[in-house]
Amino acid sequence: MTTDAPLPPGQRVIDRLPRFGLPRYAGRCQARFPVLPLRIGGDVEQAVELDWAVLSDLARVEQISDFHCVTTWSKRAVCWSGYRFADCYHSLIQDRARPAAQAQFVILRGQDGFRARLPLADLLAADVLLADRLDGRPLGAKHGAPLRLVAPAHYGYKSVKHLCAVEFWCHGDHFKTPSLAFMDHPRARVDHEERGQWLPAPLLRWLYRPWIPRLIRLFERTLPRADENHR
């Protein structure tokens, strides 16, 4: 999780955190994403909306963790602050929404239409955060305002920015990947080099690497100017 950790297989360090993602989401960054309540749904007894005030009653945690993108870039020691997903789940979601006991398939959705899936058990790890601050400042649109997931043990595509909905399902078939099917691993653990499905990880490294500088430029070009959280 921290900078003392060895670099995971196939990763290379870069010196700043770029805004990054799939090309089709590059143009969907708004200067200001609205602060919306977090919608909780799926196989729950009661769909609910968690507003900012309830979230901010949770214990604030600060965490320094490495960030690994599946395309092979890694940014060491990113300082996030926010709330543990597990605290939110145990203190707010379980009481209010009452997800079915078998609802272990979680879908996370961003305001830009991006989405990711993770098993509930992975989301309950102590280093998974709902982050609203980066490097001591409020999160800007560039890195996921108003609220984003941070799951350091998983490739970046699980860390959904501009998070607006979390769904708990008993079956995994509600998820439609925003990428191509081979790019989407159900867990995407960095230590296990679970980059995608079916294709061997070294092939994916080789396929993805040439895209890094192009995508960084694309995301920079499409970034609205109003956002001040550049680094």
Ligand X SMILES: Nc1nc2c(c(=O)[nH]1)N[C@H]1C(S)=C(S)[C@@H](COP(=O)(O)O)O[C@H]1N2
Site string for ligand X, 145-184 (x = CB under 6 A): -----------xx-xxxx----------------------
> By C-beta, is 93 or 163 nearer to ligand X?
163
- 8-state DSSP, 14: E
**What is the 3-state secondary structure of 163-196?**
EEEEEEECCHHHCCCCCCHHHCCCCCECCCCCCC
Specify the pairing of strand 129-134 against strand 115-119. unpaired
Specify the pairing of strand 73-84 against strand 12-14. parallel
- Identify what 17 binds: ligand X, Mo ion, none; CB under 5 to 8 Å per kind: ligand X
Q: Is 10 in the site for Mo ion (CB under 5 A)?
A: no
Q: Say which residues have a Cβ less than 8 Å from residue 101's Cβ, sequence separation at least 6.
A: none
Strand segments (E) across 30-150: 38-42, 48-50, 60-68, 73-84, 105-110, 115-119, 129-134, 137-138, 148-150
Task: Please say whether the dihedral angle defined by the alpha carbons of residues 154, 155, 156 and 161, taken in this order, is positive or negative.
Answer: negative
Binder of ligand X out of 10, 21, 41, 140 (CB under 6 A): 21
Check if the beta carbon of residue 114 is closer than 8 Å to that of residue 22: yes
Q: Is 227 in the site for ligand X (CB under 6 A)?
A: no
Q: Is 22 in the site for ligand X (CB under 6 A)?
A: yes
- Identify what 114 binds: ligand X, Mo ion, none; CB under 5 to 8 Å per kind: ligand X
- Identify what 117 binds: ligand X, Mo ion, none; CB under 5 to 8 Å per kind: none
Q: Is 156 in the site for Mo ion (CB under 5 A)?
A: yes
- Which residue(s) pair with 42 in the sheet? 168
Site string for Mo ion, 69-108 (x = CB under 5 A): xx--------------------------------------
Q: Smallest distance from the beta carbon of 212 to ligand X, in angstroms?
A: 10
- Identify what 196 binds: Mo ion, ligand X, none; CB under 5 to 8 Å per kind: none
Which residues are near Mo ion by CB under 5 A? 69-70, 156-157
